[in-house]
Amino acid sequence: MNDQEISSEKLLSKVYALLIIDVQGKIIRPIFNKDSIIKNIKKLIDAYQILEENIFISEQNPLKLGVTIPELLPIAGFRKIEKMEFSLAKLEEFFKEVKNKKITNLIVCGIETHICVQQTVLDCLQKGCEVILISDAMGSRNRVDHEIALRRMTQSGAILTTTESIIFELCKTADRKEFKEIKNIIMN
């Protein structure tokens, strides 16, 4: 391999982060299809902790809206960021960490799709990140708000997928030693 091949290989390597946006007690109560969303976010967290690193959890005004629901807190190795801005990307501390860790791809889930998720995604896209939306791991109070926000974000360049699809994409192969554990997460 020559130097040019090595440098282009480095350019092609992607560094992922999982963003879990505002899955807090008071916010999630009225969310359409919340039980399924919680189940899918839990699968994402469990699989992600096996396959990758870089998990960010945001909490919108936690003094008034509560903290992240306990079952959706990773075991370890995550960064929690409290915010008042709707867009997580507006926070200098968040984006500085993304740059320092050379994160290129953001896997996004959480609530509400049409507010904090959408504003974060649109800002991250503007800053040059590739954004992957986990459509079945995010939601809004009203289904129409969720669906229109997904359309707007994909029209702006975000990639739409599902929980199971992204987990298998991150796993890459059934030969991987963690595959059995990943399969068990998906099947439960």
Phi-psi region of 103 (alpha: psi -120 to 50; beta: other; left: phi over 0): beta
CA distance 59 to 91: 12
Q: Per residue in 161-184, pLDDT tens?
A: 999 999 999 988 889 888 989 999
Identify the DSSP state of 88: G
Tell me the angle at which helices 34-51 and 179-187 cross, rounded to the nearest 10 degrees.
180
* CATH of 12-187 among 1.20.1640.10, 3.40.640.10, 3.40.50.300, 3.40.50.850: 3.40.50.850
Q: What are φ and ψ of residue 59, in 5° steps?
A: -130, 120
Q: Per residue in 48-71, pLDDT tens?
A: 999 989 999 999 999 999 999 999
Write out the two tokens for 180.
Answer: 């059995």
For the chain, give the number of residues: 188
Residue 141 DSSP SS3: coil
Q: Where are the domains of the chain?
A: 12-187
- Does 7 score more than 50 pLDDT? no
- The 10 Å Cβ neighbour count of residue 18 is 26
pLDDT for residue 76:
82
Rounded average pLDDT over 32-48:
96
